[in-house]
Amino acid sequence: MKTAANFDAAGKMIDFPEFLQFKLGIYVDQFVKWLMNNFGGFFDAISSGLLWFLLNIQAFLLWLPWWLLLVAVFILGWKLKSFSSGLTYAFLIFLIGAFGLWDLMMSTLAIVLTSVVISILLGVPLGILMAYYSNVEAGMKPLLDGMQTMPSFVYLIPAMMLFGMGKVPAVFATTIYAIPPVIRLTNLGIRGVSSEMVEAAVSFGSSSWQLLTRIQIPQALPTIMAGINQTTMMALAMVVISSMIGVKGLGMEVLIAINRIDIARGFEAGFSIVILAIIIDRLSQGIADRSKVPE
Amino acid sequence: MVEKVKVENVTKIFGRHPRSILKKVKAGVSKEQLLKQTGHTVGVQEVSFEVNDGEIFVIMGLSGSGKSTLIRCLNLLNRPTEGRIYIDGENIIEFDKKSLKELRQKKIAMVFQHFGLFTHMSVIENVKYGLDIRGISKSESQETALEVLKTVGLGGWEHKLPVELSGGMQQRVGLARALANDPDILLMDEPFSALDPLIRREMQLELLEIHSRLKKTIIFITHDVNEAFKLGDRVAVMKDGKVEQIGVPEEILSSPASEYIEDFVKDIDRSKVLQAKNIMTKPMALVFISAGPKVALKEMRSNSISSVFVVDRERKLQGIVTVEDTVMAIKENKSLQEILKKDYSTTDPETYIQELIPDATDSKYPLAVVDQDNELKGIIVRVSVLSGLV
Ligand SMILES: Nc1ncnc2c1ncn2[C@@H]1O[C@H](COP(=O)(O)OP(=O)(O)O)[C@@H](O)[C@H]1O
Ligand SMILES: [Mg+2]
């Protein structure tokens, strides 16, 4: 039939020709294997370091009596925001416990905390380097832009390739995904310190270290804190997604619920994630506001 | 006079390869052309001057003339492209890191136009900053800081934050911070330009007062002639990165070296700067007391004046005679002594012309400028008092 023939011919033009396809994945796989063979020790060291850090944080969080955490959240909320905010936050956390999700929340929080701490430890110095050296800034900027435009779960692939499944790749992927804001805003904050103030500090004979620690960092602190706030929020978002590589936590609950079309379970877990997000945002925002220096 | 700071042939060029265009600068290529051709800006060009110990040396010039660039060279916030800067005889350009730090910590301190205060620190922490970074003990730096704060009139404000203070008070903090290290040299880059005129005048007087007490060497920058002439023992006028003239205020005012400076000094309130000696003239005619009325009349006629001062052999002023009295004396055969008048005004050479204005406008006769020994140094006619004001 004429039409069928046409369809067939057109189909040949539409489908990507088979002879042009090649399997890049194989080479990447080989590259990763090569990395593992030659730098296995290095990745093992990172892996066990991360795991040790993570497990300690998690152990601490799980050791915390549940009511103590409620009290702590209440007091923080009260001091940083208001009495009623404190009460609300404590009640919301209580709800998560009431859903039976306390331990899962702690696993999630442990990964978030670990990633945020690593992000700060790496990101602040990197941001400072960017502020001091324009060529470092020029090199980092496109990298950071790229990192921020990338959809989050893309990071799971290299993390999985290098560290397999579980918590360590989750921390790795989360850190990579969440680190750009703290780097970016540290750079911005340090560059934004008034040049007259810097000149004044230099003119009195400050060393570079004194200039950095006594003037530039305190002046940039509000901006850096805003960066840490953003980093924390991104880390939380990423932890949820890293349930795809087998991390236990609230994200995993959602994933299971979706697979089983279990609305009740999905709602409780999803709602708990929202609660965590709101409370972490408000509290870290509150801390950031505290560090504001008068202009 | 001990030389404290000596700037020798200092050039500062901004851009990627400042040294590479030194030749062009020296060949006299203009600033605009250099910027267009090479992308380099000449901030300061071949500047030399000395500042004496305890002097207030003012650098004056329009905005963009290179004043800030120059003063920043003195503590090496700017490194000169070429030239030498001696402080107490040592060329600071050759200092290593350690000596430079020491110089900045102990010998030279800076006050900034927009104060440059550390906004996250309290007033006293600001003042103590220079002491803290030197590792001075807490108790000692606290004591010093409180004392300096008192000096600048800020006792009791030590725990405020800079933002809680008015502009004038903020700059006092800036001054206190600079004084806390007890430096020999104060660099002040338009320190009062951001202040209201009234506060500004107050701060100028206080600076003079502090200077007379502490005897620091001060290098002070301003774009305001009145401020320059009020504060400066000597003034350097800058234009396009070069120093056009250096001198005491009266010199610059009475004999400006260029049209630029003439323009500059146009809006000065001259009456506060010029003294009697700057505007007095040699008397066109003088008569000795021993001479007769006829000589006096001849002197007056040949100079077309209606009165003449009379002096003795030592040029000591005896009085004045008018043309009417002299004519009468000739008729009546009187001596000059008999018709001498004393109702003229005298002044000493150091009096500012501001104070001469009432006398000059009231008196029929020129003002006589005399020294302590009553010796006649010159005369000031009314027109020169009034024209000295413009
Ligand atoms: N850091 C810099 N980079 C490039 N050009 C500069 C820099 N600082 C000053 N200049 C230029 O040097 C000239 C003198 O400036 P400046 O010393 O600030 O003048 P002033 O203090 O008398 O207003 C100006 O043309 C200015 O643009
Ligand atoms: Mg300036």
CA neighbor of B46 nearest in space, from B88, B78, B84: B84
CATH of B3-268, one of 3.40.50.300, 3.90.1170.50, 3.90.1530.30, 3.50.50.60: 3.40.50.300
Cα(B42) to centroid of ligand 1, in Å? 8
Per-residue confidence (pLDDT) for residue B5, from 0 to 100: 96
Question: Is the pLDDT reported for residue B264 higher than 70?
Answer: yes
Query: Which tokens in the block code for residue A266?
Result: 């999905």
pLDDT bin (cut points 50, 70, 90) of residue A1 is: very low
Interface probe for B, chosen from A203, A225, A292 (most Cβ of B below 10 Å), is A203
Per-residue confidence (pLDDT) for residue B48, from 0 to 100: 96
Nearest-Cα distance to chain A for B351, in Å, is 41
> Which residues lie with the beta carbon below 6 Å from any ligand 1 atom?
B 14, 41, 43, 61, 63-69
Please give the average per-residue pLDDT across A250-267, as a whole number: 90
* A196/B112 CB distance under 8 A: yes
Per-residue confidence (pLDDT) for residue B44, from 0 to 100: 95
- Three-class secondary structure of residue B5 per DSSP: strand
Per-residue confidence (pLDDT) for residue B92, from 0 to 100: 96
Which residue's CA lies nearest to atom 16 of ligand 1?
Answer: B66
In whole angstroms, what is the distance from residue B325 CA to residue B340 CA? 9
Q: Which of B112, B119, B187 sits opposite A294 (nearest CB)?
A: B119
Give the pLDDT confidence of A12-69 residue by residue, as tens digits. 678 888 888 888 888 888 888 888 888 888 888 888 988 999 999 989 988 889 999 9
Which ligand approaches the C-alpha of residue B114 most closely?
A: 2
Which of the listed ranges A23-32, A171-180, B377-386 does the model predict with the highest average pLDDT? A171-180
- This prediction's pTM: 0.78
> Could you report how far apart the first and last alpha carbons of chain A are, in Å?
80
Domains and CATH numbers, chain A: 101-290 (1.10.3720.10)
Residue B123 in contact with partner chain A when CB distance is under 8 A: no
- For B370, the enclosing helix (H) or strand (E) is strand B367-370
pLDDT bin (cut points 50, 70, 90) of residue B365 is: confident
Give the pLDDT confidence of B178-231 residue by residue, as tens digits. 999 999 999 999 999 989 888 898 899 899 999 999 999 999 999 988 899 889
Q: What is the CB neighbour count within 10 angstroms for residue A63?
A: 9
Per-residue confidence (pLDDT) for residue B230, from 0 to 100: 87
Residue A15 in contact with partner chain B when CB distance is under 8 A: no
Residue B109 β-bridge partners: B186
In whole angstroms, what is the distance from residue B18 CA to residue B198 CA? 42
Q: Report domain extents, chain B.
A: 3-268, 278-387
The nearest alpha carbon in chain B to A221 belongs to B120
Question: Is the pLDDT reported for residue B67 higher than 70?
Answer: yes
In whole angstroms, what is the distance from residue B179 CA to residue A108 CA? 55
In whole angstroms, what is the distance from residue A42 CA to residue A162 CA? 11
Residue B346 β-bridge partners: B368
User: Mean pLDDT for chain A?
Assistant: 89
Higher pLDDT, B255 or A274: A274
Give the pLDDT confidence of B314-356 residue by residue, as tens digits. 889 999 999 999 999 899 888 888 898 888 888 988 888 878 8
Q: Which of B104, B113, B119 sits opposite A295 (nearest CB)?
A: B119
> Measured between beta carbons, which residues in chain B are less than 8 angstroms from residue A220?
none
Which of left, alpha, beta for B58 (phi over 0: left; psi -120 to 50: alpha)?
beta
pLDDT bin (cut points 50, 70, 90) of residue B8 is: very high
> Measured between beta carbons, which residues in chain B are less than 8 angstroms from residue A197?
116-119
Per-residue confidence (pLDDT) for residue A293, from 0 to 100: 67
Q: Write the CB contacts of B349 (distance below 8 Å, at least 6 apart in sequence).
A: B275, B276, B277, B280, B369, B371, B377, B378
Please give the average per-residue pLDDT across A191-200, as a whole number: 96
Residue B119 in contact with partner chain A when CB distance is under 8 A: yes
Q: Which CATH architecture has domain B278-387?
A: Roll (3.10)
pLDDT bin (cut points 50, 70, 90) of residue A294 is: low
The nearest alpha carbon in chain B to A295 belongs to B119
Per-residue confidence (pLDDT) for residue A231, from 0 to 100: 94
Give the pLDDT confidence of A128-173 residue by residue, as tens digits. 999 999 999 999 999 999 888 888 888 888 888 888 888 888 999 9
Interface of A with B in 212-271 (CB under 8 A): 214-215, 218-219
> Measured between beta carbons, which residues in chain B are less than 8 angstroms from residue A293?
119-120
Cα(B114) to centroid of ligand 1, in Å? 16
Please give the average per-residue pLDDT across A226-255, as a whole number: 90
User: Mean pLDDT for chain B?
Assistant: 90
- For A228, the enclosing helix (H) or strand (E) is helix A217-241
Cα(B81) to centroid of ligand 1, in Å? 14
